Structures are given as C-alpha cells and as structure tokens.
A and B are shown apart, each in its own frame.
Chain A
Amino acid sequence: MRAPGAALGVRVSPATAAALAAAALVAGAAALPALYLVIRALQHASEVGETLGRTRAAESTLRTILLAGGVAGTATLIAVPLAWLLARTDLRLRSLWTVLLALPLAIPSYVGALAVVAAFGPRGTLQGWLEPVGVERLPEIYGFPGAWLVLTIHTYPFVLLPVRAALGSIDRSVEEAARSLGASAAATFFRVTLPQLRPAIAAGFLLSALYTLSDFGAVSILRYDALSRDIYVQYSAVFDRHAAASLALLLVFVALVTVSAEAVTRGRARYHVTAPRGRVRRLRLGRGQVVAQLYCLLLASIALLLPIGVLSDWLLRGLDGGIDWGAVREAGTNSVLAAAFGAGVTTLAALPVAYLAVRHPGPVSATLERLALSGYALPGIAVALALVFFAANYLPWLYQTLGLLVLGYAVRFLPQALGPCRASLLQVNPKTEEAARGLGAGPLRVFWRITLPQLLPGVSAGAALVFLTAMEELPATLLLSPIGYETLAVQVWAEAQAAFYSQAALPALILILISALPTYLITKGAPAPA
C-alpha cells in the first residue's frame, strides 16, 4: 500500500501526514468561495443568463472596467514621474516625501470616500463655507468622478513602490552603455530605462486595476454602479440571491483576467535585478526643483491633508454636538476581537501549507500553496457572498456566528500570512531538529522546543499584519458578521452613507492610524536607492 502522501516523493512521517491533511483542508477552504460560485452557477445555469440580462450586468461590467482602467491609468501617470523624482533626482526632502507619499495606501478606500463626500458632498464642509457666498450647489461628486478620485489617490502607491524599487535596482552600466553609444539622456530614459521599468509599471498598473475592481467601500459610498456595488444591492436590498451570486462570479472572472494579464505583459526579456552598482548619480533639478516640490506638495495635500483635515474638522464638530462614545467603544472592541481571532486562525492555517511548501517541495505542496494563495486575487465582496450562501445552505451552525467572519478573514488573508510563515520556516535549519532528535527529544518536544521558538518572530509579524488588515476590512465584515455586530469599518461605512459625518470621523481616524503602521513598514522594507 502506498503511504498517505507518497505523491510527495518521500517516506512520510506521521507529522508530515498530519500537516498534509491540515494543508489540504486549508487549501480546500481557500478555494471554496470561487468553487462554490461556479457550482452554484452550474446548478442554476438556465437562470444565470437571464439574471445577468435583467440586472444589466454588461453595463455594470463596462462601468467597472472603465473605472479600473481610468484609475490605474491615472495612478500610473502620477506615480511614474514621482518614482523617478524620488529615485533619480536631487529632490529636496526626499526621505520625507518617500514616506509621506506612500501613506495614502494607509487610508482605507471607504475612509477616503467618506472624506470626499464630507468635504465636497451636498452637506459637506466646502458647501458649508460657500453657502454664505450664495453657492447653492457644487458639481456632483457622486458617481464616477468621486470614485475615480478616491481610488486613484488610494492606489497610486501600488505603482510608485515597485517602480521606485525597480529604478533603484536597474544596472546603471546599462544606461551608461546607451550614453556611450550615442543616446542622449532623454533618449536613454525612453529607450533603455523605461522599457526596463515595464514589468514594474505593468505590475503596479494591474494591482491598481485589481484593487479598483475589487473595491466595495468607495464605490458604494460614492454610489457608482460598479459590479461590487450591484452585488451588494442585489443581496441586501433586492434580496435576489441568484443575481448576487451570478454577478459575483462575473466579478471573479474579470479579476482573474486582470491577474493573468500580468504574465502576458512580462514577455521574454529577463531583467537584471541586482544590487545597483556604482555610485548613484542624481540628476540636478535646478529650477525644476520648485515644480517638483509643488507636485509633491499638491499630491500630499489631496491624498493626506484633505482626508485628515476634513475628518478632524468633523470630529471637532462632533465633539461640540455630541458623539455616541458608547457605539464607538463597542465597535472598537468588536473590531479588535474579530481581527485578533482572524489573525490567529489565519496564521495557524498558513503554517501547515508553508511547512509542506518549504520542507517537501513538489507538485502536491505547490498545488496546495497555489490554492491557498488564490484568495488574494478574489474580490472581498465575492468571497464574502459565497461564504454567506455556503454557510446558510450547508453549515447552519456556523451561519450568523463570529466563526463565519473569522473563516472569511482566514480565506481572505491567508496569502498575507503565508509569506512570513514561509520565510521563517526557510530560516529554520532542519539539522537543528535532527540534532534534537539525536539528543533524545520526540517529535512534539522538538517542535515545541526547537522549531516553534525559531519560527515565532517571523510568524507573529505575519499575524500582526493580518490583524491590522482585518481591522479595516469592510465587505467581508459587512456580510459575514452576526446581525448587530458592528465594527469600526462597518460604522464608518454606515455613517458615511447616512451623511452622519461627525459620528463617522472618529472611527475613520482610528482606522487611518491603525493602517498607517503596516504601510510605513512596507515603505521601509522596499529597497530604497541610497
């Protein structure tokens, strides 16, 4: 008889078999949402077409793609020159701008949307200022313009970070070779540097597009009828479950197409990504310095100063008018509780998958790992909806409990936990475990005394990252938490829609603070040119 897991190509110990079983379970859970949407669609195949027609899915899809393209395009146009300024010129206050201009990533999209409606909406700050002057109506901020603005601001760092890193790691001698072959500085940039940046730009562009496709918070607050908003409307207002599920499947499909596009853009060229050699010679901006400073300042004003200023303004007004402190405290407690459970479960789920991938590399472990990573590309609203339906139909004991929310977090954030777990496992030398076995310790004792202590720092860093991300997660929280379980994110979203800005300001500012930390760490972690 073949031992369980013989496909891994090794004799399998009981510990490995247990890890294999656990990893298979985790991978199965991660793959469940997409799989369930497909199965459900197949079961109701006859209705899917009709449903999509009735809900005008084609128009929503077009709107979604339009927004994603517009946002990603604008984000790229903003970010590439900025990356160049930061990486290759003598821009003053470089290190300050490097950190500040990556921070918009830390403002959740629904918080950004809240700030925009609180500033420019019909009952917003600007309107309040202009009313005495006789301005009755501001240009419409709802719909495309608002969603485009908020998501562009939120996602341009996705382009900025990889492009800046790529600019820092391009082999300088390649550019020098172009110069000595007769190309001017400008021609060198366009013919040699820019093509080498293509993978980084494409990756950033697609990440920005993917984020926009998947975004639920900003488009719902700003009432732009993209797919994700439609899904929620069908589910919660029209109570049309088939329509919601069909639209969710459509959204998943659009997202997957976007993800696979990246592989296509990469092409045949292979890029030299080594530590940059030679001294970095920065272009002297001269008189351009002023323009560059204004550019950075403008961006920082729109992306950071505006939301934080507007929210602080509304918080101060709320302090005068009375804030429901109890509600904020309760939402805060709920957020921490759900995120903590989520982080713990996600990390535990990631460990066996990472263990197999590191210690028993092969087709089986690679497949399991890929399945576990699949949640990364899926829009949160689609994952959440699939889990709601699945639990309602097959896991009634889990439905309407905190457990379902935790499961949702685990599926969503597994990829985030996998990276650090994998990295920490790679650092544990298996020989230390073998040495412990040789010294008379059993497998459990070895894990407890030798493996775990070495894993702990990396794994807990991963867990902390999941915790912070889960704190600000909106669509899964909205759909999966038990009725009446309100978190900070849900509170911001609900109050923003009710235009109750002073009540939304406090949880929104708390969320900005919470997510600023991992963003700061990501910025620091990205290789920065000296």
Chain B
Amino acid sequence: MSEPLLVCRQLEKRFDRLAAVRDLDLEVWEGEILAVLGPSGCGKTTLLRLIAGLERPDRGTIRLRGRLLAGDGAWVPPERRRIGLVFQDYALFPHLTVGENVAFGVPKGVDKAERVRELLELVGLSGLERRMPHELSGGQQQRVALARTLAADPELVLLDEPFSNLDASLRAKVREDVLRILRAANATAIIVTHDQEEALSLSGRVAVMMGGRIVQIGPAEEVYRRPATRAVAEFVGEANFLPITGLRNGTVECELGPLPVEPPPGGRFDVMVRPEDIELGSVGVPVKVVETTYFGHDQLVTVELPSGQRLKVRTMRAEHLRPGSERRARVAREPLLVPEE
C-alpha cells in the first residue's frame, strides 16, 4: 500500500507539566474509520485537538498526505489543514440557520446553495435549511454538525464523542446513520469514544488509548480477543484472570484445567478468559453459584472455584441459576495469555 493519510510521530502535549499525550505514534489510512477508545482523561480529546490544529504539540510531528502540519518548526493553522472536527456538543453557530451553518465552510468556487442541498440530503435533513439550531432535536443537530464538516470537503473528519450527548435509545440508530453518511461521503474519519461497545461496533480498526499513549491498535475482534495488556483486556470487556499453575507440552495448566494455549515465550503471564467463553454444565471443574443478574437474553453469573477465586460467567441458558446451586465449569473457547501485572 502507499503512504498513510495521517501520520503522527512521537507526539507530546503537556498541560501545566501534566502530559495529556506522550510519545504517541499513529497512522490512519485513507478511507478507514478508526475508533480511538480510552477511559476519560486518557488524552483522546487532546489528540483530536492536536490533529485539528487547536493545540500545538510540545514535541513530535503531524503529517497529512506527507505535508508537515505541526512539529519541526512547522505550523499550519486549523483553517488551512482541511481537517474537519465534529465537536462533542456540536458547536453549531447559534446565530446562523441550518443552511448557513452548512454553507459556512464550503470552499470558494463551489456553488454554495447546491452543496448545502446535497449535504442536507445526504444527512436526511432536506427542508430544514431555514431552521435555527436550537429548533432541532439533538440527533438532528448532530447531523447538521456532520453536514457542516463534510461541506468543507475535508481530507479527514474527526468526531469527538459524537454520541455521548444522545439518549441511549437513540444512540444505536444515530451511530448507524453517521457511519452510513461517512461511508457515502468516502470520508476518512477518527471517532473518539470512551464506550467500548461503541468502539467495537464501528467495525473498523480500534486504537486503545491509555495514559496519553496508544497501547494497542488493530481490528475490533483482535483488540477484544487478544488484548495486549491486562488493562486493555479489562477496558474492552469483562475478563477473568487465572494464575498459571503449570506448563505441559502445548497446554497451560490453571484451575479450570489444562488449556490448549501456546506457552509464553518468557516472563510472567496469566490466563484470560472472557465470561462468555465459560460454559456451566455437567462437565469440568466444580463451582458454586454466588450471585446472578438476570437480563432476559442472558444472565451474568458469579461462581466460586474450590480455591475461593470468583469468576464471571455469561450464559445464555434459559434456566435461572439460583445462588448456592452447584455446577461444573469448563472453558469452551480458546483462552489467551496476558502479561501478569
């Protein structure tokens, strides 16, 4: 493949000596939709603002299509970067109509009215040109913000927690809409979120950011199935960790029995098992049910191993497991080793 669209190298940004972003490397390819996932305060919004040109990095470089935007003495102001940012609170211009908002960034030489019509159609808001922003619902404002950004014909679209201001019931629908619109516009996008389900469901690559760094980047299923660290494993989903008790040719021993995992090359590791990978039934290690939370489509069960360690198990069984009842547990899918911490 050719050059990536965006390249960040050794990026660093400090606020009052506290590093919000440090030693960060990132590559984004043309046409992809990258999710940046991280807990609040991990520096993901700062990363977006650095890329957009709203903050100056203290160290490192940012390049778009090979052009140096920041670092090494270069500085391109935000208005000349062709990078669009969709703000968490949308930041629509309160004094302009929907149409005027969308027209704001339309490049010179382009028919404004035509472009506005085109984009409002794309986001499904045709006919609302003359409304004022406060007369729209949250989901509509979101789409106006997106249309406004796309109208400026950016090379890269950044979305900062785009769904966090919406009701939970609306979120899935708006998420689908946004993805559809971004794909229809052939946009390259970075979407920042703190919601792991959201990041995984965007179905592109996921970059997990912690402590100002990107700790793992890869396809959603890889990040979920093979987290690089224990912290990533815990952040992207629920996880059980079991100490290794022994190694035998091709298998790793732990309290849930021998498991078919390549032994680690060195260092100290734990076995990680996702709750949905444990099966409760008549085969395996005896466990006692401690607590259950019933969701209808499935239930989350806490069980206790003979050693006293507790495991979380997600099971689709219709039978409601009562606390105190006894079952046997076995690992139904390939587990993984993650570094002990």
Please list the residues of chain A having a beta carbon within 8 angstroms of any beta carbon in chain B. 171, 173-174, 176-185, 187, 191-192, 195-196, 198, 268-272, 277, 279
Contact = CB atoms under 8 A, between A and B. Distances in A.
A187 B149 CA distance: 17
A179 B105 contact: no
Interface residues of B, number: 32
Interface string B253-266: 00000000000000
Given A182-B80, A196-B94, A272-B94, A176 B85 contact: yes
3 cross-chain pairs, A with B, having the tightest CB-CB distances, nearest first: A181-B105, A173-B91, A179-B78
Given A176-B87, A180-B79, A196-B94, A269 B132 contact: yes
B94 A180 contact: no
Nearest to B145: A177
B94 A183 contact: no
B185 to A, nearest CB: 15
A176 B94 contact: no
B104 interface: yes
B85 A177 contact: yes
A182 B105 contact: yes
Contact of B79 (A184, A195, A270, A277): A184
B91 A179 contact: no
Nearest to B132: A268
B213 interface: no
B54 A180 contact: yes
B77 A173 contact: no
A271 B53 contact: no
Contacts of B92: 174, 177
B95 interface: yes
Contacts of B104: 178, 181, 183, 191
A185 B80 CA distance: 11
Contacts of B96: 195, 269
B83 interface: yes
A270 B94 contact: yes
Contact of B132 (A182, A191, A270): A270
B276 interface: no
A274 to B, nearest CB: 9
Contacts of A277: 89
Interface of B: 15, 52-54, 77-85, 87-89, 91-96, 104-105, 107, 132-134, 145, 148-149, 152
A270 B93 CA distance: 10
A181 B149 CA distance: 7
Contacts of A279: 15
Contacts of A270: 94, 132-134
B54 A179 contact: yes
B190 to A, nearest CB: 13
Most buried by A among B94, B133, B152: B94
Contact of B95 (A171, A176, A198): A198
B93 A183 contact: no
A173 B82 CA distance: 17
A268 B107 CA distance: 27
Most buried by B among A178, A180, A184, A279: A180
Contacts of B88: 173
A333 B53 CA distance: 64
Contacts of A177: 85, 87, 91-93, 145, 148
A174 B91 contact: yes
30 contacts: A171-B89, A173-B87, A176-B52, A176-B54, A177-B145, A178-B93, A179-B53, A179-B77, A179-B78, A180-B79, A180-B83, A181-B79, A181-B149, A183-B79, A183-B104, A184-B79, A187-B79, A191-B104, A192-B93, A195-B95, A195-B96, A196-B94, A198-B95, A269-B94, A269-B132, A270-B94, A270-B134, A271-B94, A277-B89, A279-B15
A277 B49 CA distance: 14
Contact of A179 (B79, B107, B132, B145): B79
Given A171-B91, A180-B83, A270-B134, 7 more contacts: A174-B92, A177-B85, A177-B92, A181-B152, A195-B96, A198-B95, A269-B95
Contacts of B91: 171, 173-174, 176-177
A174 B105 CA distance: 13
A183 B94 CA distance: 17
A127 B140 CA distance: 68
Contacts of A271: 94-95
A269 B135 CA distance: 10
Contacts of B134: 270
A268 B88 CA distance: 24
B87 A181 contact: no
Given A179-B77, A181-B104, A268-B132, A173 B89 contact: yes
A324 to B, nearest CB: 58
Most buried by B among A179, A191, A271: A179
Contact of B148 (A181, A195, A269): A181
Given A178-B104, A181-B79, A269-B132, A196 B85 contact: no
Contacts of A191: 104
Contact of B53 (A173, A178, A180): A180
A182 B92 CA distance: 15
Contacts of A195: 93, 95-96
A277 B91 CA distance: 11
Contacts of B83: 180
Nearest to B107: A182
Most buried by A among B87, B88, B145, B152: B87
Nearest to B108: A182
A269 B130 CA distance: 12
Given A174-B92, A176-B54, A192-B93, A184 B77 contact: yes
